[in-house]
Structure 1
Amino acid sequence: MKTPVRFSAWMFWVGMAFLYLPMLSLIIYSFNESRLVTVWAGWSTKWYGELFRDEGLMSAVWRSLEVAFWSANAAVLLGVMASVALTRFGNFRGRSMLHSLVAAPLVMPDVIIGLSLLLLFVSMTDVIGWPQQRGLLTIWVAHATFCTAYATVVISSRLKELDRSYLEAAMDLGATPLKAFIQVTLPIIMPALVSAWLLSFTLSLDDVVIASFVSGPGATTLPIEVFSSVRLGVSPKINALATIIILIVSLVTLAVWWLSRRKLQREKLAK
């Protein structure tokens, strides 16, 4: 019995090293004095100062955060409506088509999605004169489009597990279907909504392929900015920015784990 346990532990640490050693290397080289990332010249924090003085890179960060925030909001809102239609309205006409249209972005290559949206925006400009130019608005529409598919999967899976007796009890007590949905269903599926929002936010913040098709002058997001700079050589400022993002994500993950642990402890004490 010892051999399988040792093998599993060994494979676990190999997998952890494969995932996190590159991140550790990136963090270390963000404190490198040298501009060359392959040459160690001593410890320094100057690249963090250079990062915050780089107006172009910091503007790209705020643009990406803004687009990701509004894309996640739109994706959750559309995902809730699509999930309710797919799980609560039975086998209505067009249900299979709606389900296929929602699931298509999950398996479709990003290049195809980006190109199709670009052609859509060009055609709309010729027909109705909107959008006059590609920018943050077109990126937001594009990101909300493909993020909605992921949000719908997360939310609909939770709605399928929801006991309908809660809604029936609320309506028996005089609540309208809308009021029952807002006061009963939404609080129950709130963890799924938060998960869908975080997933959509991450996907939007990480996207480079679709955004490169639908972006325009003055609307460069962070992934496009990083991709463009990396082609000319990895800048230590990019390492510093990546280190800050890793730190923020780690702190948020730790906080969520701590809150979940406290909640489980309270539930055990209540029992």
Structure 2
Amino acid sequence: AVLHDAELLTGAWLSLKIALLTAFSSVVIGTWAGYVLARLGRFRGFTFFTAMINAPLVIPEVIMGISMLLLFVAMEQVFGWPAGRGFVTIWIGHVMLCVSYVAIIVQSRVKELNKSLEEAALDLGATPLKVFFVIVLPLISQALVSGWLLSFTVSIDDLILSAFLSGPGSTTLPLVVYSRVRLGLNPEMNALATIFICLVTTGVVGVNLWMQVREKKRLLDIHHAFTAEVEETATTPTAGRTTKAFGPLKA
């Protein structure tokens, strides 16, 4: 019955699209914000910038939902955009909420990085933009993945913001489930919950296995490189190693 329920399938597809778009948008904006907080130090407006990034973490979602609803209504009256509430308004609200989580994760990870790596790249002629993409991003990739997964989870599970920012024809899956559960439980909700649990469990196990395989491969590559270096050093004559390291010795 779940697989043939048009309302549930439509809500699930809408929630999935919003969650994917929210996750990618939040990672892009949150990475920029977290890097600014971790690397640029105190600048004019730093306190205000920090407060705006951290505000969604402490403000109740009900207050945020009402505020954004009033904002969109006023914008529609003044500018004519957005024309009603729906996909775009829900997406903007979810991004506003999830950016804070990504920024905090990225900020904590960037602060742990060794700045000498970035300084060495700058000394060798790399531009700050190239340093960010070539040096910083690979080192914080796990934080980006964590922020992406957290944003996706928060977005697809959000009910309060979606209730304020949704409109006719834009009912997300949590709203559908909430409206039906109020009328009483039925086997379709149990089946839906089972499907979600199975999907999440499979995804978590799959990601963990992939990370373990990747880590083993990285350690194996390091071991092979170290072994090759040791063998090369052992087979090189002493005089050759001295000449290679210090240049030709003069009497």
TM-score tier, shorter chain, comes to 0.7 to 0.9
* Residue number in structure 2 paired with 1:140: 91
Give runs of aligned pairs for residues 22-61 of structure 1, distance below 5 A: 50-61=1-12
**C-alpha separation in 2, matches of 1:213 and 1:128:** 20
Aligned to 1:112: 63
Matched, 1:151 2:99: no
Deviations 1:207-255, CA, capped at 9 Å, x for gaps: 0001000100000000000000000111211111111110011111111
**Per-residue deviation, residues 134-160 of structure 1 (Å, max 9, x unmatched):** 000000000000110111111111011
Q: Distance in 2 between matches of 1:218 and 1:154?
A: 35
Alpha-carbon separation, structure 1, partners of 2:30 and 2:112: 16
TM-score (normalised: structure 2): 0.85
Ranges of 4+ aligned residues in structure 1 off by more than 6 Å: none
1:190 partnered with 2:132: no
The alpha carbon displacement at 1:258 in A equals: 2.1
CA displacement at 1:97 relative to structure 2: 1.1
- Confirm whether residue 255 of structure 1 aligns to residue 236 of structure 2: no
Matches within 5 A, 1:259-270: 259-266=210-217
- Deviation sequence 1:148-205 (CA, Å, 0-9, x none): 0111111111011111111111122221100110111111111100100000000000
1:224 to 170, 175, 178: 175
2:43 aligned to which of 89, 92, 97: 92
Structure 1 residue 261: deviation in Å? Answer: 3.3
Superposition deviation, residue 126 in structure 1:
1.2
Alignment match of 1:82 (pick from 16, 21, 33): 33
How far apart, in 2, do the equivalents of 1:167 and 1:267 lie? Answer: 22
RMSD: 1.4
In structure 2, what is the Cα distance between the partners aligned to 1:144 and 1:197?
Answer: 11
Q: Confirm or deny that 1:63 pairs with 2:14.
A: yes
**Percent of matched pairs sharing the same residue:** 46
Write the distance in 2 (CA, Å) between the matches of 1:122 and 1:235. Answer: 37
Structure 2, gaps ≥5 residues long: 224-251
| Residue identity opposite 1:114 in structure 2 | G
Aligned-partner Cα distance in 2 for 1:235–1:172: 65
Task: Tell me: CA distance 1:130–1:88, structure 2 relative to 1, closer, same or farther (3 Å).
Answer: same
Question: After superposition, what is the alpha-carbon deviation per residue over 1:110-131, rounded to whole angstroms, capped at 9, x for unaligned?
Answer: 1011011101101111111110
TM (norm. structure 1) is: 0.79
Q: Give the gaps of 5 or more residues in structure 1.
A: 1-49
The counterpart of 2:123, out of the listed 130, 148, 172, is 172
CA distance in structure 1 between the partners assigned to 2:217 and 2:126 by the alignment: 32
CA distance in 2, matches of 1:258, 1:160: 28
What is the aligned partner in structure 2 of residue 102 from structure 1?
Answer: 53
Residues in 1 aligned to 2:97 and 2:167: alpha-carbon distance in whole angstroms? 19
Partners of 1:239 and 1:233 in 2: CA distance? 12
Which structure has the bigger radius of gyration?
2
Q: Distance in 1 between matches of 2:212 and 2:138?
A: 21
